[in-house]
A and B are shown apart, each in its own frame.
Chain A
Amino acid sequence: MAEEVILLDFWSSPFGMRVRIALAEKGVKYEYREEDLRNKSPLLLQMNPVHKKIPVLIHNGKPICESLIAVQYVDEVWKDKSPLLPSDPYLRAQARFWADFIDKKIYDIGRKIWTTKGDEQEAAKKEFIEALKLLEGELGNKPYFGGESMGYVDVALIPFYSWFYAYETCGNFSIEPECPVLIAWAKRCLQKESVSKSLPDPQKVYEFVLVLKKKFGIE
């Protein structure tokens, strides 16, 4: 059966990266389409009329929106390879909990780091490190959040690693001394082709952030 898989995405989006990694882990052939977010394609607006956002996964003409929902979809459809969610319901619930935690905390707090300064920025940096430390606690001494192999939480979190350099430079701080275990985990993930091919160069992300800062008149 011919499968048509299209991913509407934007190169620096950590949310898009999640879906890229999931598809790569499953060995799914797909067409990557870069969206110009200032000039969204008719297809994007048609496939995600509610949010008009990327990523949108289109499988045989049907759209799946919201990155974690798309990752779960990929996990359920291509279930014979590299399972991302564990099979035990309790462990699945834990994985969903931590992915939800990442969604609630990492992006928004990270954003505050590069869009604010002074006290607000200091507070954001503190909150960010605290969130990462909680995640470190959850990782423990496992190689991956998923255990012996990458799983749902790994996929949910690793894209943000490509933004760490931008956060660190804008915020004038270093994450590794505070969270060495997490950074070691990130580097371990990057050894995998599914991750290294899905994440952009952190330097390029930083340059992009500088362009955004200028555009929004920040600093």
Chain B
Amino acid sequence: MAEEEVKVFRTWSSPFPLRVIWALKLKGVEFDTVYEDLSNKSPLLLQYNPVHKKVPVLLHNGKPICESLVILEYVDERWKQFPLLPQDPHERAKARFWAKFGDDKVLQTMRMDVLLKQGKEQEEAIVSTIENLKYLEEELKGKKFFGGETIGLVDIALGWLAYHFNVVEEIIGVKLIEQQKFPLLVAWMQEFSNIPTIQDSWPPRDKLFDRYASFRKAALGEHTPK
């Protein structure tokens, strides 16, 4: 069998490449990592992702795959051990639905409106996020992970909830995922984080805090409190 060359283009902080890292590690795939500085993108990144110029990019035997959820499906199809998607078509459709929901309705709102806005706009974004988190709480009923007994595509796509989300909560001084409101989600966050592959992969918290705080500061202006 020919030697596989697998490379992941990532940054130290972004949750999107982290998904790819998790998937590869869980499947026991050997890979190299290329760290990008997004303020100074490498010629290779621009060559491999000319359309979006973003991370992650997975390079497999010289061929690039872009967009984290697309990469996850590719990885799942190429390396069959530790399957991330179920076999049943309807269950697969549900998994894809929740992964997309997380990105469109929770992640987008958190990193844009909750983190970078204030006043009424931020309040509305917080209310919206909590409403959408309720759907995720509901989805966890009777399950340890979104994927069932073991983690799957949805857990990996939502993984940032278990770490990055709390950094935003701390910066804005508002707790959205409260224990009494979201007992299943809180339990899931702990279970997910306890997985050694996940635990070992989180970026340094203080650095992440500083980074997000600086985004907020830049978006709102220096004179803004918090």
* A→B interface (CB under 8 Å): 50, 59, 62, 64-66, 69-70, 72-73, 76-77, 89-90, 92-94, 96-97, 100-101, 134
Determine if A73 and B93 form an interchain contact, defined as CB atoms under 8 angstroms apart: yes
Q: Tell me whether chain B's interface is mostly helix, strand or loop, or mixed.
A: helix
Closest to B49 in A: A97
Determine if B100 and A69 form an interchain contact, defined as CB atoms under 8 angstroms apart: yes
Determine if B74 and A76 form an interchain contact, defined as CB atoms under 8 angstroms apart: no
CB-CB under 8 A for A89 and B77, given A69-B96, A70-B93, A73-B92 = yes
Q: Tell me whether chain A's interface is mostly helix, strand or loop, or mixed.
A: helix
B61-81 toward A: CB 8 Å interface, digit per residue (1/0)?
001011101110110011000
Whether B90 sits at the interface, judged by CB under 8 Å, is yes
Task: Name the A residues within 8 Å of B78 (CB-CB).
Answer: 89
Determine if B96 and A92 form an interchain contact, defined as CB atoms under 8 angstroms apart: no
Task: Name the B residues within 8 Å of A59 (CB-CB).
Answer: 90
Known: A96-B73, A134-B51. 7 other contacts (CB 8 A): A59-B90, A64-B90, A65-B97, A66-B97, A92-B73, A97-B70, A100-B67
How far is B52's CA from A134's CA once the two chains are assembled, in angstroms? 11
How far is B70's CA from A76's CA once the two chains are assembled, in angstroms? 17
Task: Name the B residues within 8 Å of A89 (CB-CB).
Answer: 74, 77-78
CB-CB under 8 A for A66 and B74, given A59-B90, A76-B89, A77-B89 = no
How distant is B178 from chain A, measured CB to nearest CB, in Å?
21
How far is B67's CA from A101's CA once the two chains are assembled, in angstroms? 10
CB-CB under 8 A for A97 and B93, given A66-B100, A69-B100, A134-B51 = no
